[in-house]
Structure 1
Amino acid sequence: MKIKYQIEKYMILFAIGGMAYFLLEVLVRGYSHYSMFLCGGACFLCCGLLNENMKIKMSFISQMVLSALIITALEFITGLIVNIWLKMDIWDYSQLPYNFMGQICLLYSIFWFLVSSVAIVLDDFLRYKIFNEEKPHYKIF
């Protein structure tokens, strides 16, 4: 029963994170793609797991830095699959400075750092309110 509960919990968190990512992209760009739902769900799960089941709680800023790195890495992997391998041309950052293969760039990594603060708090809130997990406590540094 516990495994089934965990699977359901992670499916709910994945769906919420995927939808939030998709809607954020629609808000910023005016459109999105279903692959961004999948990437966003994976990002939300990975970032949410950073401070779970750890004996030493990570600072909020550390979570934001690691989250930005995770999101950037998952965006790169998604870009390699959908843009390069499948040739779907969902996005291309080639015109932006400090880009890598047109799939990721420094500007968006900084953006992910800022957005991750909302994702971290949302994940903790959902875990507390919906799944009756520990009430979130933060140390900034």
Structure 2
Amino acid sequence: MALTGGICFLFLYIIERGYNNEPLWKKCAAGSLFITNLELVVGFVVNILLGWAVWDYSDLTFNIAGQICPLYTVLWFVLCFPVSLVCTVLRRLYSQLGASPATSIR
């Protein structure tokens, strides 16, 4: 799960860095959709194929195979706002240190 979280954070950092001129809500919407899709893929692997039962949204409305649901997509959207702030602070800190880790990502 730490790997999945790291992938999500990296994606959000890339969005924050690469789409500076986009409104924050659009970046958060893209992040939320990415996280939800990754949650579906990872959930299918770890919960269904491997049977680890890490999470189960079966009791929530409009869930898909118990792996994703609209409620959590909205929660990911909301959480993307503070994460975007953290990404901005990290980018500025890296700039002050003379480093630019996201430059090689592009």
TM-score scaled by structure 2?
0.84
Structure 1 ranges of 4+ moved more than 4 A: none
1:42 is aligned to 2:2: no
Please, which of 74, 95, 100 is the counterpart of residue 132 of structure 1? 95
How many angstroms apart in 2 are the aligned matches of 1:53 and 1:92?
34
- Tell me if the contact between 1:94 and 1:101 (Cα under 8 Å) persists in the aligned partners: yes
Uncovered stretches (5+) of structure 1, i.e. residues with no partner = 1-34, 134-141
Equivalence for 1:108: 72
Please, which of 40, 43, 47 is the counterpart of residue 76 of structure 1? 40
- How many residue pairs were aligned? 96
Whichever residue aligns with residue 95 of structure 2, its letter is N
Uncovered stretches (5+) of structure 2, i.e. residues with no partner = 97-106
Structure 2 counterpart SS, 1:120: helix
Structure 1 counterpart SS, 2:95: coil
What percent of counterpart residues are identical?
A: 33
CA root-mean-square deviation: 1.4
- Tell me if the contact between 2:46 and 2:53 (Cα under 8 Å) persists in the aligned partners: yes
Deviation at 1:69, TM superposition (A): 0.4
